[in-house]
Amino acid sequence: MVSLENKFIRNNDIAWRVIDGEALVVSPKDSLIYPLNDVGARIWELLDGKRTVSDIASIICGEFEGDGKAIQDDVMDFIEDLSKAGLVNGAS
């Protein structure tokens, strides 16, 4: 389960590109392509292993409109999904 204090980093084996604000992430394990919208692409870019989930949610709140709590919950859920898919790893 993802908590606000966790840090995550993109899996080094993942191929990805950001095009016109949207990201395409390709998993080498199953060759699935994961399209990410502009918010998902921004979260993906921020997953550098240095920022906490809370830091990322705060940045997203500042760059996109919406309720802060809802954005925080959505960021946590999104990172949880990325983790389950093996696209990101926990960082220390």
Domains of the chain: 7-86 (3.90.930.60)
**Would you state the structure tokens that stand for residue 39, as one six-digit string?**
């918010």
| Backbone region of residue 76 per phi and psi (left: phi > 0; alpha: psi in -120 to 50; beta: other values) | alpha
Give me the pLDDT at residue 92, please: 75
Q: If DSSP codes are grouped into helix, strand and coil, which group holds residue 2?
A: coil
Torsion from C-alpha of 90, 50, 79, 5, nearest 10 degrees: 80
Q: How many helices and strands (H and E) does the chain possess?
A: 3, 6
pLDDT in tens, the chain (92 residues): 899 999 999 999 999 998 888 899 998 888 899 999 999 999 999 999 999 999 999 999 999 999 999 999 999 999 999 999 999 999 97
Residue 25 buriedness (CB in 10 A; 0-12 / 13-18 / 19+) = buried
Q: Say how far residue 20 (Cα) sits from the centre of its chain.
A: 17
Give me the pLDDT at residue 90, please: 95
Give me the pLDDT at residue 83, please: 94
